[in-house]
Amino acid sequence: MVVCYVDSSVLVSALTPTESRHKESVKTIEDIKKSGGMLITSTYAFMEVVNVVCRRIISGQWNLIEPLNILTAIVGRLGHKALCETLTSMLLPLLEQFGVTLIDDQDFYVLKNLNGANIAKIFKEAVKLTWINCRTKDLLHVAIASLMSKKYGVKCILTADEEDFSKVKNTLKENLNIEVEIIHHKHYAE
């Protein structure tokens, strides 16, 4: 069974029918589940999803999949805070419906020594991996996937972030034994 870490770009795409990679994200998630694979994500990715979705809904830039779209129209009348709190409570069960399990591990936050400073293990892992040469938000996903590979058997990162992950795809495979599966936008005939 393949265990894939799902980053926030795929989750946002799956939740947003107007996003260019929506169909491909949903299909890839379904294909991995059908093949017996396991999809996991982190609280960091979940926080990114909540933040992006709330910001875009507040600004009127996006519509979400149903029933979230109807819900945001109703609850949005109560204000931004109520809207984001409601979305947060609805997103986790929806991710579980997609077959994505949220995993957070207290061990990732244990303080570790790094040159005399105590920092959370997850950030120590990220510092160790800075040689990969990617943006901080992507580096945190890589660090989480690296820690999860050791404890939960993660063998791939599923992302829609082609621009950044295509540059480090081979590096992650060769050095961390983690495959990167990038969801590409496909043009459909109307």
Nearest C-alpha neighbor of 138 from the set 178, 99, 174: 178
- pLDDT over 90 percentage in the chain: 69
pLDDT digits (tens, 9 = 90+) for 67-103: 777 777 777 778 889 888 988 888 889 899 999 999 9
pLDDT digits (tens, 9 = 90+) for 116-159: 999 999 999 999 999 999 999 999 999 999 999 999 999 999 99
CATH of the domain at 13: 3.40.50
Domain that residue 65 falls in:
3-104+153-182
Domain count of the chain? Answer: 1
Nearest C-alpha neighbor of 176 from the set 116, 184, 144, 186: 144
Give the pair of three-digit tokens for residue 62: 């996006």
CA 61 to CA 83: how far, in whole Å?
15
Residue 139 in any domain: the answer is: no
Residue 62 in any domain: the answer is: yes
Per-chain mean pLDDT for the chain: 90
Local confidence band at 186 (pLDDT 50, 70, 90 cut-offs)? low
Residue 118 in any domain: the answer is: no
pLDDT digits (tens, 9 = 90+) for 67-77: 777 777 777 77
Mapping DSSP to helix (H, G, I), strand (E, B) and coil, where does residue 3 land? strand
pLDDT higher than threshold 70 for residue 181: yes
Residue 55 in any domain: the answer is: yes
Residue 109 in any domain: the answer is: no
Residue 141 in any domain: the answer is: no
Residue 135 in any domain: the answer is: no
**What's the pLDDT at 190?**
35
Residue 124 in any domain: the answer is: no
Q: Are 95 and 41 in contact (CB under 8 A)?
A: yes
Please tell me what DSSP assigns to residue 69.
H
Over residues 98-113, the mean pLDDT reads 95
